[in-house]
Amino acid sequence: MSDRTASEVVESVSTAFERAFGSAPEGVWSAPGRVNLIGEHTDYNGGLCLPIALPQRTFAAVARRDDDRLRMVSAQQNGVSEVALDDISPEQPGGWGAYVAGVLWALRRDGLEVGGLDVVVDSTVPFGAGLSSSAALECAVAAAASDLHDLGLLDSAEGRARLAARCVEAENDIAGAPTGGMDQSASLLCDEAAALLLDCRSGATEQVPFDLAATGHALLVTDTRAEHALNDGQYAVRRDACERAAATLGVETLREIAPADLPASLDRLDSDEERRRVRHVVTEIERVTLAVDALRAGDLEEVGRLFDASHASLRDDYEVSCDELDVATATARAHGALGARMTGGGFGGSCIAIVPADRVKEVAGAVAAAFEEHGYTPPVSFAVVASAPAHRDA
């Protein structure tokens, strides 16, 4: 993982902009990746989730153009990606540029006046780690577009929610990943030292204080480096199963199923697969409420138990874990974590653990040793704090 500071990246992305486009950018904006504390695969079911913003961010150096072209360069990719705003589609510009172009496409479709841009991006969010590097990219570009085109959408929670919605459309309609929206809301709406309680049915948000250091704990993220992709079909298959089950049960989303009605609802479903998917979603939404209560009561042991239960449900009922995630979480628990779970879409990616601060090294070392023993790619572990949402850096 990159440990460059924000000011180092601001400087290098500005220099890269001058090199690519021959003049200085008008500014630099950045947006964070995220980890979700709990509430996984609930967002597209109208449920609750509880993400924090990571210290790792994607930076965009941007300048307006006087035509309607978009030119994009990335420090992590070769070459220039280029498209005219009117030509943006799922086919054009394709690749990583779709996440940038998609944002401008969605803002224009929303009736907002957005012109051509030159963009250079650089990121400290690891790619493919399930930490929402794609949402960070979309939201950094959305923040830049809002400021440079005087849309004023960063100035209020409503404006930020509107930007988040456009970033979700960019990802769904142009980049082709049928994701649910938590990541973009996290990147634009999370606060420092807080988790964002996001109600995906009403759109309501609430900041829940989250400062593990204050009680001598840390949140340890382990990137398992196991392959992970959200546009490879499995995510869509899970989402379809939920929508089918909701239709059978005669509800708009699975959020409508109260925990007390779960057994009766499960009896009405056709397949064991749908029963397990629904059981995960309904119990997971309840675990979010319980975790928020426990955090507010300062009961980290209970939060840890809920992490463990969430992981078991994602592994056994939702079937989105993998061997690396199961080994990492079990090892963390065995070495003193209060609880551990996979975070994000699953099928690889990262896990999180609540760990006493003085055992962070031990837990990270134990996970690395367990991976070596199993012959897995070496994992990357790092402690994180709840960080700031998308903003202008320079």
Residues known to be catalytic: 183
DSSP output for 110-179? TT-----EEEEEEE-SPTTSSS-HHHHHHHHHHHHHHHHTT--TTSSHHHHHHHHHHHHHIIIIIS----
Q: Does 166 bind ligand GLA (CB under 6 A)?
A: no
* Residue 44 CB, nearest approach to ligand GLA (Å): 6
The CA angle 243-165-314, to the nearest 5 degrees, is 40
Give yes or no for a contact between 317 and 349, defined as CB atoms under 8 angstroms apart: no
CB 366 within 8 A of CB 330: no
Smallest distance, ligand GLA to C-beta of residue 60, A = 20
Does residue 179 touch ligand GLA according to CB under 6 A? yes
Query: Site for ligand GLA (CB under 6 A): which residue of 46, 180, 339, 348?
Result: 180
25 binds ligand GLA (CB under 6 A): no
Nearest approach, Cβ of 258 to ligand GLA (angstroms)?
A: 21
Which residue, 133 or 381, has its beta carbon nearer to ligand GLA?
133
- For ligand GLA, give the closer residue by CB, 28 or 167: 167
Other CB atoms closer than 10 Å to residue 75's CB: what's the count?
Answer: 13
Which is nearer to ligand GLA, 9 or 208 (by Cβ)? 208
| Residue of 333, 281, 282, 336 lying closest to 307 (CA atoms) | 333
C-beta closer to ligand GLA: residue 147 or 284: 284
- Tell me the closest approach of the beta carbon of residue 178 to ligand GLA, in angstroms: 9
Residue 43 contacts ligand GLA per CB under 6 A: yes
Taking CB under 6 A as the rule, does residue 57 contact ligand GLA? no
Q: How many CB atoms lie within 10 A of CB 164?
A: 27
**Helical segments of 6-132, H only:** 6-21, 97-109
Which residue in 40, 191, 274, 324 binds ligand GLA (CB under 6 A)?
40
Residue 275 contacts residue 266 (beta carbons within 8 Å): yes
Residue 230 DSSP symbol: T
CB of 47 to ligand GLA, least distance (A): 9
**Which residues, 192 to 251, sit near ligand GLA by CB under 6 A?**
230
Q: Is 60:30 a contact under the CB 8 Å cutoff?
A: yes
Residue (180 or 379) nearer to ligand GLA, CB: 180
Minimum gap (Å) between residue 183 Cβ and ligand GLA = 5
C-alpha radius of gyration, the chain, whole number: 21
Q: Please report whether residue 182 would count as binding ligand GLA according to CB under 6 A.
A: yes
- Residue 180 to residue 177: CA distance in whole angstroms: 9
Q: Which two tokens stand for residue 183?
A: 């990541």
Cα Dmax for the chain: 65
Shortest approach of ligand GLA to residue 314 CB, angstroms?
9
Judged by CB under 6 A, does residue 58 bind ligand GLA? no
Q: Identify the bridge partners of residue 59 per DSSP, sorted by sequence position.
A: 30, 122
Contact assessment for residue 183 and residue 129, using Cβ atoms and an 8 Å cutoff: no
- In the list 118, 147, 173, 183, the residue contacting ligand GLA (rule: CB under 6 A) is 183
- 14 versus 179: smaller Cβ distance to ligand GLA: 179
Which of these ranges, 19-27, 174-182, 220-228, 285-293, lies near ligand GLA under the rule CB under 6 A?
A: 174-182
Between 69 and 239, name the residue whose CB sits nearer to ligand GLA: 239
Stretch that binds ligand GLA, among 35-43, 78-86, 96-104, 358-366 (CB under 6 A): 35-43
Please give the helix or strand (H or E) that residue 381 lies within, else none: strand 380-384
Residues 342-371 that bind ligand GLA (CB under 6 A): 344-345
Catalog residues that contact ligand GLA under the rule CB under 6 A.
Answer: 36, 40-41, 43-44, 179-183, 230, 344-345
